[in-house]
Structure 1
Amino acid sequence: MPPTSRLLPHVFRLLLGYLHSYLAKFSAHYCNALGVPFDRQIVQLPFGSVLKWSDGTRLEEVQAMMVARAAGFPVPKVISYDEHPDCPHTPVSILMTRLPGEELAWVEEYLTDTERHAIQDEMRFMLSIMRNWRRARKTQSVSSVTGTDIRSVHIPGTPGHRTGPWESEVAFNEYLLSFASSWSMTEKQAQKDLALAKTLHSVAHPIVFSRGDLKPQNIMVHEGRVSGFIDWKSAGWYPDYWDYTTALKFQQKGFWWYDFVMATGGSRYQVEYELQTTVVRLTCDSLPY
């Protein structure tokens, strides 16, 4: 695993915040001149660059992107990043290069079988490389790439979607089940689901580096090949099944994304997927949507 880059000093990040604010205002005029919609979260700019300024953007995302790019993955190059202390809901923005292609979600139906299989092979290979990374210090904590809290829409009871870190998988599991509720089901069904969830949590899993939010909107495709991974805010260290079971949450067998995830490594975690659905049922009332 490439070393994690140190962040710019806080004062420099504050100064860059003024520059990024200007670029966002410039983009509104730039998009108007070109006749394209202005997006306040993915700010379009000239010279092949974009400014990501959304509620989930954070400094750990910058570091995850730098690590992934240093490892040779097709990831946008970080040009600069900042902090906006006066914007509590969008405190960080990242200026980065634009990747070619379209989101897999938009082009999947137009892919040939050969292209689809090639993309699946590329995804399986890149994910396997990532999952074999080792941390500089021996630890089994569930955390971000830098050991801080993680951001995930798949974890219950987390305002702002940020929580953790946890020193072990056991602590992580205990946190998940602390939100178990029978509110949306019978008490008998809740007890059955709780027993199944504890079956999943009774087995120790390797903690591996994961995307944290694997979905077709975060995979870029160009000319039938994977051209990039975008949106690294949830990346970090999770139990090895996490990327696949969360990617399949609420998916039906037979839907193309279900089959795609299974073909890229998810088939090894079918048991974990079935058991993880019980955790979702028990805690869905506390998910911070």
Structure 2
Amino acid sequence: MLYSKWLLVAHDDPVSPEIYAALCARENNRCCVSKTVKDLSPTFIVPPSIVGDEDLQTGGRLRPTLEALLSAEVVETLFSYLRSSSGDKKTALQNLWLMSPQARAAYRSGHIWIEKYDDDLRVEIVYTFLIRRKQPPYFPAIKDGFYSIPVKADKSRFPLPYDFLLRIHSAVSDSLHCSTIETEIRSGWGPIDKGYTPGTFGTFCLRALFALLPVSLRLRLCQYLFKSIGQWVAKGDPSIKILPLGLYLKVNDVGSPNEANALRLIEQHTTITAPKLIDFTMDLSTGNTFLLMTKVTGVPANKVYYRMTYEERRQLAIDVGNCISQYRRIPKPSEYNHLICDTTGGPITDHRHGTLGPFISKEDFLDDLLGNFEHFKIERPLSYLYEKKHDICFTHSDLHLSNLLLQGGRLSGIIDWEHAGFKPEFWEYTRLVWSYRNDKRHAKDFELAFDKCYTEELEAERTLWKPRIPRN
């Protein structure tokens, strides 16, 4: 009830033309979050009208709830401040942001909050907006980032938002945010629109069709499809297109058949749901490769992980572990001359280190990985990587949540095998954690996906992730 009343009064507080003009001048007529300039509205950090709500007054039925959330002392300080600031332009500006409709809705619903950073090391005051676990609907495609102080630097005429009020909003908005997530969880996962997929027979027919075409015609067809048909998987992503008939077309300028070969191996040796390879061709003049494959249905886990229960997250890790156990049994072809390599026997690639190798031993791989810090390899914790015995096995090498697809809260497939290869067994886990470096909970959750403990290897890897000063 407290949450709904807080939201109810959030849009009712009027702002005088004088205060609105001063706010626009302070913010240079732009949204404080998205920096857009259209349809801007004044947005209170804490709506002053709450002081007139009988349920929130001393003795009111919701006052104990608010005091439990903020403390009785903080609530009294807040109400005293709001009463004393009524109608005053300078104190009103300390309680206002200028926001676009999308940012305004997200801010009121608790999906984003804003903090103030002001210390002796900074020349200027800086505010940062942060997005909570759930990406707000219709929110601008911008990442967490810093918003510099408004253009108008005269803080005596155009005061900046009061950090006390920002802390109040952060505490209340976190509860609002969690409330919306709880409602979403209670409503269940709902049906998923699977769309059309070729199926086993359709995949066979498509493969047969492309096999009959000469290489030059296959290349021209893929170039035409990529240029003229379908839609991008994500706005701004120029590498993958969704085509009719349940197909995806991926273009890469690396010029490697590694992902295509990885998909062949996964289909041949496992029962893992992954894209099925239809065709792979390369433009020798540019080095661009065209990978035509089938669609895997599901929602990327990173879009719904915030609302997954602990039991569902645990099950996801177990399901991923079952897949890992399967593809780790894929044999490396005996004709490959290197121990650590991609699925074609060539150099390994990774978002973390770029292109390396191939390598004839784990030690060579580690030496290259350490680079200028090779002399630390005899010290703990890096020595763990050298001393412990590790199998070299097939590795996906990018088990980011965005590459794990879900249906009804369960794993439905794994995509993006571009960096697959034969690598030390610990790499799958440490690389998974690397994508979420500061999220210790994520690292703990996915320990269940592995039949061995890689705590020492993770400690060593974390050492490499931190910048270090080389010895002379």
Q: Which has the greater radius of gyration?
A: 2
Conserved 8 A contact 1:211-1:236: yes
Contact preservation (8 Å) 2:265, 2:330: no
Write out aligned runs for 1:168-247 (5 A).
Answer: 168-180=361-373, 195-196=379-380, 197-247=382-432
Q: Give the structure 1 partner of residue 458 of structure 2.
A: 273
Q: Shift in Å at residue 128 of structure 1?
A: 1.5
CA 49–21 in structure 1, closer or farther in 2 if over 3 Å, else same: same
Letter in 2 for 1:86: S
Quick check: 58-67 or 138-147, which moved more? Answer: 138-147
CA distances 1:109-147 after superposition (whole Å, capped 9, x unpaired):
222444333322211111122223333429770111232
**CA contact 2:255–2:282 (8 Å) conserved in 1:** no
Partner of 2:34: none
Describe the superposition over 1:60-110 as per-residue Cα deviations: whole angstroms up to 9, x where unpaired: 11010111122221011111111023334xx21211111111111111122
Shift of 1:178: 2.9
Aligned residue for 2:273, secondary structure, equals coil
Residue identity in the other structure for 2:243: L
Compute the displacement of 1:20 (Å).
0.8
1:60 maps onto 2:60 in alignment:
no
- 2:267 corresponds to which of 60, 69, 75: 69
Q: Which of 437, 440, 444 is residue 251 of structure 1 equivalent to?
A: 437
Q: CA deviation at 1:251?
A: 1.8
Normalising to structure 1: TM-score of the pair?
A: 0.77
Give, in angstroms, the shift of residue 55 of structure 1: 4.1
CA RMSD of aligned residues (A): 3.1
Match 1:51 to one of 244, 249, 267: 249
The offset of 1:153, in angstroms, is 2.3
Q: Identity of aligned pairs, percent?
A: 24
Deviations 1:181-216 (A, max 9, x none): 9xxxxxxxxx76872323422333111111112211
- 1:63-102 pair list within 5 angstroms: 63-70=261-268, 71-88=270-287, 91-102=288-299
Structure 2 unmatched runs, 5+: 1-209
Give the corresponding residue for 1:185.
none
TM-score if structure 2 supplies the norm length?
0.49
Higher RCO (C-alpha 8 Å, min separation 6): 1
Contact 1:180 1:282 in 2 (8 A): no
How many Å separate the matches in 2 of 1:266 and 1:244?
11
Contact 1:76 1:99 in 2 (8 A): yes
Counterpart CA distance in 2 for 1:264 and 1:166 is: 27
One-letter code aligned to 1:213: D
Question: Shift of residue 279 of structure 1?
Answer: 2.7
